[in-house]
Amino acid sequence: MPRLSWPSRSPRRRAVSGLAVGALALTLAACAGESTPPSASTAPEPSATATAAPASPSPAPTVDAAAVTCESLIPADLIDTFTAAGWTVRDDPFRVADIELESGHWCTWGDFAGAASDNVQIYGWAPIDEETAAETQSALVSDGWVREEEDAVVFITENPDTTVSTDAQGYGMTLQFGEGWVTVSDTKEGLLVIVLPTP
């Protein structure tokens, strides 16, 4: 098992919902998974046009890093979808490989008012220096996670043999390491939704 220090509601036990977000100028839609949010009457049908391509670097930065919130990390229409399903967000510290990243946000969206459930979605971001990024990546890989590099961006994803939920390309929970930042989502495709803050 990966030696990760996740927030109390472990995303490794999640049942990720499949939601599609309309493509906007600075956002891409890509949330694939096993189930829909808890209320079928309020949750929209998944879009047939949702991308199935592997993740690429996230949309251009539009949010000041000092002002990051869980609500600023994802598009407003996705927040509206969650709200319509009765979901709210819990903002936890960003912890990976026993390291807590200062000023990071580990955002868990779900129905926390209802019965206990692991039907949640995760979107997170944190600033990270080069040394800590290398240490984190090494720790994850040594615990069985898979490292890939695309266009100078590093992706560390769950071992496909042990992951609980995957996207259309077979990727489970994935961390994306850029220059001075790291993001996380339930799947690699989910990273496309995150709007990167400015430095």
Give buried/exposed letters for 62-84 (b at 16+ CB in 10 A, else e): ebebeebebebbbbeebbebbee
- Give the residue extent of every domain in the chain: 11-198
What is residue 63's predicted lDDT score, i.e. its pLDDT?
A: 59
Predicted confidence pLDDT, tens digits, the chain (199 residues): 444 544 433 443 333 334 433 333 333 333 333 334 433 333 333 333 333 344 555 554 455 777 899 999 999 999 999 999 999 999 999 999 888 999 999 999 999 887 777 789 999 999 999 999 999 999 999 999 999 999 889 999 999 888 888 999 999 999 999 999 999 999 999 999 999 987 6
